[in-house]
């Protein structure tokens, strides 16, 4: 159950992540929907475990539903954009992300949640009749989850495509189910039918593999997904999804569903403006660094400047560069094989941290901080790093979404925040507003501000550069002084907040802007979220406590209601800790999907260790409530320590040569957070459950509380807390919630209701 759940979750997460254009905040939405559906399955379907006449057959039916719905879900995800009428290369808005993932995950997550409650009942019926059996099943599920994480990381994502994983997992489940049915064989017609069905499904799954049916499913889904496009290559690397489409002699390279490269005929207007404006602003550019997006025209334009001696081109994903070479055109072949060009398959920030080189121009070919991976190139930390690696008159070039006609608060906030973030490192920032793209040139020299039309045209002639779009009339329009004043007036009422690695407001503003265009009905919600601060949550917590003291704590049942609340807030905390660790890793290193399996596995190792340790302790102690309170205090303390660890150690985390130490640190933090979360469930079940009569209800209530809390953590944490309040602010919110739940446990005891053991 645990093994299958982890693999299914990671598989669907990856497929949805691709369809959602690689936005990491969709991780919170996907995980949240998975958890809430598991909670419903556990609490609604799982309640039938008490009344089902043949519990083994019911368990078999749910297992079959779970196993068959997984490959179906993968297929639906692949064709989701076609169903929703969304064009290839277009991102989904927040609301479609939410409801589409909810509906797709419904049969898989619902059935998997029900399996937990049925497993608890089967285990208590046949093996262990004590209330502690719930904790033991929780431990067994966690161990399976750990195995699933290891197998996923080191085997499945490396060697198998999505349908091989989905059908292979179904085959594994059918075999295990058949063993269970044979082991608990009874002279019962429904069980005989279940056994026959299991055998037939095993035979059918093996036939799909042997006949090539699994590969055919894979190819068919890609064909439907990319309808009207000639897909010549489709690949999942450890960094993301790559799809190469051919139209005539033109190749389009998609990365996580977004068009990244068009060759051999690029967008001439864009590449000329992006290459020549900054290089002509510099008196003599010799060393140029391009971070992403260099191939397909940009390098070719830069090479027209005879003074350029070196162009370093950094791309994070080596597979992307390999495919550019495999499906080469005369343009890309000339660019990548030119003696002045040095291609580096490396993260741009890592290159800047480790190189001894100094650059005259650094061009960031990422034009929108639409996710955490790209936001890393629009933060105060990156701008400070880039400044250190630039020569005296060096220029940093970035682009952002822009418009000369469609002006709204979201676009104003995005450009205003990044402009003011640039100003923390660079005293001089020149902006060239445009329709679709605002170009920012930042420097420690005022040369970028003094650059005018006459000087540009003179340097074009002096360097003998031939252009197609950047002609005199176009130059006059772009460089007119009024545009800088217009832009400063435009952003005057916008956000003044700085974009940081650990407070990625750039991502939030980017998502807000996208939703304002395609889902304007959500503008009010995003504007409300943008104004949230810690005081809102502090006041809300104090008011809630006041209401609880007046009403809730006067009822004797308030103590029992405090236990599910405790578990729910722990589920919320666990999700926030998990997302915080994942997002922090991504914000620093930019390749979370090569590590997410290990981080999740480490977290689950901690959960297993905490649950096993606490389950073993239950038989030797009597002061259950005191232990529960101590765990609450430990989680409260950890919520404050976690951000401090990352903030204090951050200078060492970004230094070269500490990769092993970094891995150990992140895995250790994941382990500790998991241990605290896992340790609380068995002791809470023991306090809440006093006898065997309501074993299933106890499992359902507490497990559902855990999952509901996790769902809120995924949605609120992934979309609101982490991007708007940042790492520190999000953990302070966890601190407030856990203090609230702790008071709900201990306050009724001080009102004369006694101290339960």
Q: State both tokens at 191.
A: 């069980």
Whole-Å CA distances, 718 to 28, 155, 497: 5, 28, 19
C-alpha–C-alpha distance, residues 567 and 560, integer Å: 12
Q: 377, 302 in Cβ contact below 8 A?
A: no
Whole-Å CA distances, 614 to 620, 627, 682, 685: 10, 9, 6, 11
Beta bridge mates, 250? 247
Residue 659: name the closest of 309, 353, 247 by CA: 353
Q: 261 exposed, middle or buried (CB, 10 Å; 0-12, 13-18, 19+)?
A: buried
Helix (H) or strand (E) holding 245: strand 241-247
DSSP per-residue letters across 550-613: HTGGGSTTHHHHHHHHHHHHHHHHHHHHHHHHHHHHHHHHS-GGGTHHHHHHHHHHHHHHHHHH
Q: State both tokens at 709.
A: 């809390």
Helix, strand, or coil (residue 519): coil
Was 335 annotated as part of a binding site?
Answer: no
Q: State both tokens at 517.
A: 């265009």
Q: 382, 33 in Cβ contact below 8 A?
A: no
Residue 286: name the closest of 261, 308, 264, 266 by CA: 308
Q: 499, 379 in Cβ contact below 8 A?
A: yes
Ranges of H-type helices in 424-494: 447-450, 453-462, 472-478, 482-491
| β-pair type (310-314, 287-291) | parallel
Q: State both tokens at 6.
A: 């982890």
Beta bridge mates, 512? none
C-alpha–C-alpha distance, residues 482 and 484, integer Å: 6
- Give the sheet arrangement for strand 287-291, strand by strand: 341-344, 310-314, 287-291, 359-364, 390-400, 438-443, 428-432
C-alpha–C-alpha distance, residues 397 and 691, integer Å: 67
C-alpha–C-alpha distance, residues 365 and 350, integer Å: 16
C-alpha–C-alpha distance, residues 35 and 53, integer Å: 28
Greatest CA span in the chain, whole angstroms?
A: 94
C-alpha–C-alpha distance, residues 733 and 216, integer Å: 48
Q: 727, 41 in Cβ contact below 8 A?
A: no
What angle, 0 to 180 degrees and rounded to 10, lies between the N-to-C axes of helices 558-589 and 596-618?
Answer: 150
C-alpha–C-alpha distance, residues 410 and 398, integer Å: 19
Query: How far from chain centre, in Å, is Cα 140?
Result: 27
Was 347 annotated as part of a binding site?
Answer: yes
Sequence-distant (≥ 6) Cβ neighbours of residue 125 within 8 angstroms: 55
Was 409 annotated as part of a binding site?
Answer: no
Helix, strand, or coil (residue 400): strand
Q: State both tokens at 143.
A: 């161990």
Q: State both tokens at 212.
A: 């090539």
Q: 504, 586 in Cβ contact below 8 A?
A: no
Place of tokens 């779970």: 66
- What is the b/e burial string over 676-696, where b = at least 16 CB atoms within 10 angstroms of the residue's CB? bbbbbbbbbbbbbbeeeeebb
C-alpha–C-alpha distance, residues 598 and 526, integer Å: 33
Ranges of H-type helices in 619-725: 624-653, 659-688, 695-712
Annotated binding-site positions for S-methyl-5'-thioadenosine: 315, 347-348
Annotated binding-site positions: 315, 347-348
């Amino acid at each position: 159950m645990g093994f299958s759940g982890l693999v299914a979750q990671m598989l669907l997460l990856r497929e949805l992540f691709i369809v959602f254009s690689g936005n990491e905040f969709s991780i919170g939405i996907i995980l949240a929907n998975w958890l809430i559906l598991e909670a419903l399955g556990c609490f609604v379907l799982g309640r039938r475990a008490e009344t089902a006449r043949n519990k083994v057959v019911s368990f078999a039916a749910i297992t079959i539903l779970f196993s068959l719905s997984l490959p179906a879900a993968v297929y639906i995800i692949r064709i989701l954009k076609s169903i929703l009428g969304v064009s290839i290369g277009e991102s989904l808005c927040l609301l479609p992300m939410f409801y589409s993932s909810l509906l797709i995950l419904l049969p898989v997550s619902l059935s998997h949640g029900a399996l937990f409650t049925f497993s608890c009942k089967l285990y208590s019926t046949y093996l262990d009749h004590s209330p502690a059996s719930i904790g033991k099943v929780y431990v067994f599920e966690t161990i399976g989850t750990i195995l699933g994480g290891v197998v996923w990381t080191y085997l499945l994502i490396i060697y198998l495509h999505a349908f091989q994983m989905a059908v292979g997992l179904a085959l594994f489940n059918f075999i295990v189910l058949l063993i269970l049915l044979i082991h608990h064989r009874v002279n019962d017609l429904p069980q005989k039918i279940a056994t026959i069905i299991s055998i037939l499904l095993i035979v059918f799954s093996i036939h799909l593999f042997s006949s090539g049916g699994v590969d055919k499913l894979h190819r068919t889904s890609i064909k439907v997904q990319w309808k009207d496009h000639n897909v010549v290559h489709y690949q999942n690397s450890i960094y993301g999804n790559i799809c190469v489409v051919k139209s005539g002699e033109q190749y389009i390279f998609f990365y996580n569903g977004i068009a990244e490269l068009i060759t051999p005929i690029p967008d001439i207007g864009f590449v000329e403006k992006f290459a020549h404006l900054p290089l002509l602003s510099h008196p003599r550019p010799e060393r140029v660094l391009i971070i992403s997006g260099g191939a397909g025209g940009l390098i070719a334009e830069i090479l027209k400047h005879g003074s350029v001696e070196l162009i370093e081109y950094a791309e994070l994903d080596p597979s992307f560069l390999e495919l550019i070479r495999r499906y080469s055109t005369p343009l890309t072949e000339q660019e990548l094989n030119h003696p002045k060009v040095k291609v580096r398959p490396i993260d741009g920030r890592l290159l800047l941290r480790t190189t001894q080189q100094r650059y005259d121009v650094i061009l960031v070919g990422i034009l929108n901080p639409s996710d955490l991976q790209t936001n890393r190139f629009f933060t105060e930390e990156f701008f400070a790093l880039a400044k250190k690696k630039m020569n005296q008159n060096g220029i940093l070039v970035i682009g952002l979404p822009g418009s000369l006609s469609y002006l709204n608060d979201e676009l104003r906030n995005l450009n205003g925040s990044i402009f003011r973030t640039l100003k923390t490192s660079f005293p001089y920032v020149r902006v060239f507003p445009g329709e679709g793209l605002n170009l920012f040139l930042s420097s420690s020299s005022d040369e970028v501000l003094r650059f005018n039309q006459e000087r540009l045209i003179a340097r074009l002639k002096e360097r003998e550069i031939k252009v197609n779009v950047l002609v005199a009339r176009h130059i006059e329009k772009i460089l007119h002084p009024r545009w800088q004043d217009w832009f400063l007036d435009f952003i005057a009422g916008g956000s003044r907040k700085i974009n940081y690695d650990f407070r990625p407001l750039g991502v939030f503003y980017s998502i807000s802007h996208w939703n304002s265009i395609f889902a304007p009905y959500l503008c009010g919600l995003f504007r409300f979220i943008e104004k949230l601060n810690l005081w809102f949550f502090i006041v809300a917590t104090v008011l809630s406590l006041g209401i609880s003291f007046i009403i809730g704590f006067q009822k004797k049942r308030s103590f029992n209601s405090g236990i599910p609340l405790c578990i729910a807030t722990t589920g919320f905390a666990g999700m926030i800790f998990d997302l915080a660790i994942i997002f922090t890793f991504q914000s620093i290193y930019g390749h979370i999907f090569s590590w997410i399996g290990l981080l999740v596995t480490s977290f689950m190792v901690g959960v297993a260790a905490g649950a096993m340790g606490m389950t073993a302790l239950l038989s030797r102690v009597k002061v259950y409530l005191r232990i529960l309170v101590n765990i609450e205090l430990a989680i409260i303390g950890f919520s404050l320590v976690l951000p401090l660890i990352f903030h204090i150690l951050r200078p060492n985390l970004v230094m070269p040569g500490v990769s092993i130490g970094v891995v150990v640190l992140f895995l250790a933090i994941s382990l500790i957070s998991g241990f605290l979360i896992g340790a609380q469930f068995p002791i809470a079940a023991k306090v809440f459950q006093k006898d065997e009569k309501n074993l299933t209800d106890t499992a359902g209530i507490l497990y559902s509380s855990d999952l509901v809390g996790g769902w809120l953590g995924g949605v609120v944490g992934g979309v609101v807390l982490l991007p708007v309040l940042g790492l520190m602010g999000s953990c302070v919110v966890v601190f407030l919630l856990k203090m609230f739940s702790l008071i709900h446990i201990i306050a009724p005891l001080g009102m004369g209701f006694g101290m339960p053991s």
